[in-house]
Amino acid sequence: MTLLSMTGQGQGRRRLGSGEVTAEVRAVNNRHLKIQTRTSEGLSSLEPEIENLVRTHLRRGSLQINVQLTGSVAGAVFGLDESAIEAYIQKCREISERLGLSADPISITDLFPLPGVIKEPLPATSVAAETKAAALEAVEEALQCLNRMRHSEGMSMSRELTKQLERLVALTTVIEARAPQIVEEYRGKLEKRLSKAMAEVGAELREADLLREVLVMADRCDVREELVRLQSHFAQFEKLLESEESQGRKLDFLIQEMFREVNTIGSKAGDAEIAQRVVDIKATIEQMRELVQNLE
């Protein structure tokens, strides 16, 4: 069984010289695959490759991935704005001359913290090969950690779904055994009422008339077709639980089909005992629906 939950989290990290790349992923439910990526300055050009890597691990879910580089950014290309440096130096000289100050020589390193002196790293081509490799390895590790958690939760849900499916089968078996009795009981009650009514007016109950009424009722409350389809859905559901790939969408579809058949059985049968079993089945299916909607 390889059911995968759509929820979980994972972390990954790689050393990079004096720095470190860390990746964190968090996944929650979503009908489709939605990826939100955040990267630290200098790694934004890797976002398309990071998202492609995510798609090799997940098919559904809403994923938030955060990739950060702490320490020195290996391979980042910084630039100095010479015009900004010249403007700062010129302004310092003007102020010194106007105030009659004998300013100490200005070191260029003194200007680095000032706004506009250091240009941003080039976004598209500034990530060195070793930085890129470290970032993608950290993301891969985080995704593998996430999938281990998703697999563990999926196994737990698979066991619970199997138990609930067994309960559905048992409840349906009760309905299957009860259904033929409804017609027999109806025939007995109808015959008694009609015989009494006919006796009061001095008439005789004809078997053909009784049989015709019973057949109409039997056709109206016949749930054999619904039971057959329901059993087929159970078999398909069990097969999908044992599939090599997580099949959350198909399981969710089968849950809807089960609910439809059970509703029809409840409306057609017209029997108190079957109605109670239908309520129990619906409650179980609803519990299964909540689990299935968490599966990839």
Tens-place pLDDT, residues 114-150: 887 776 554 444 568 888 999 999 999 999 999 999 9
Most confident of 1-5, 191-195, 196-200, 263-267: 263-267
Q: What is the pLDDT of residue 218?
A: 54
Q: What is the pLDDT of residue 142?
A: 98
270 pLDDT exceeds 50? yes
3-state secondary structure the chain: CCCCECCEEEEEEEEECCEEEEEEEEEECCCCEEEEEEECCCCHHHHHHHHHHHHCCCCCEEEEEEEEEECCCCCCCCCECHHHHHHHHHHHHHHHHHHCCCCCCCCHHHHCCCCCCECCCCCCCCCCHHHHHHHHHHHHHHHHHHHHHHHHHHHHHHHHHHHHHHHHHHHHHHHHHHHHHHHHHHHHHHHHHHHHHHHHCCCCCCHHHHHHHHHHHHHHCCCHHHHHHHHHHHHHHHHHHCCCCCCHHHHHHHHHHHHHHHHHHHHHHCCHHHHHHHHHHHHHHHHHHHHHCCEC
Tens-place pLDDT, residues 142-181: 999 999 999 999 999 999 999 999 999 999 999 999 888 7
Q: What is the pLDDT of residue 1?
A: 55
89 pLDDT exceeds 80? yes
63 pLDDT exceeds 80? yes
Enter the CATH code of domain 8-75+126-151: 3.30.230.10
**Any idea which of 102-106, 127-131, 223-227, 257-261 has the lowest mean pLDDT?**
102-106
Most confident of 35-49, 90-104, 117-131: 35-49
36 pLDDT exceeds 60? yes
Tens-place pLDDT, residues 197-246: 555 555 555 666 556 655 555 556 678 889 999 999 999 999 999 998 89
Residue 67 near residue 23 (C-beta atoms within 8 A): yes
Q: Based on the number of CB atoms within 10 Å of its own CB, is 84 exposed (0-12), middle (13-18) or buried (19 or more)?
A: middle
More reliable by pLDDT, 217 or 38: 38
- Give ranges for CATH 3.30.230.10 in the chain: 8-75+126-151
Q: What is the pLDDT of residue 59?
A: 93
Strand order in the sheet with 61-70: 8-16, 19-28, 61-70, 33-39
Residue 269's pLDDT band, with cuts at 50, 70 and 90, is confident
Tell me how far apart the alpha carbons of residues 89 and 86 are, in angstroms, rounded to a whole number. Answer: 5
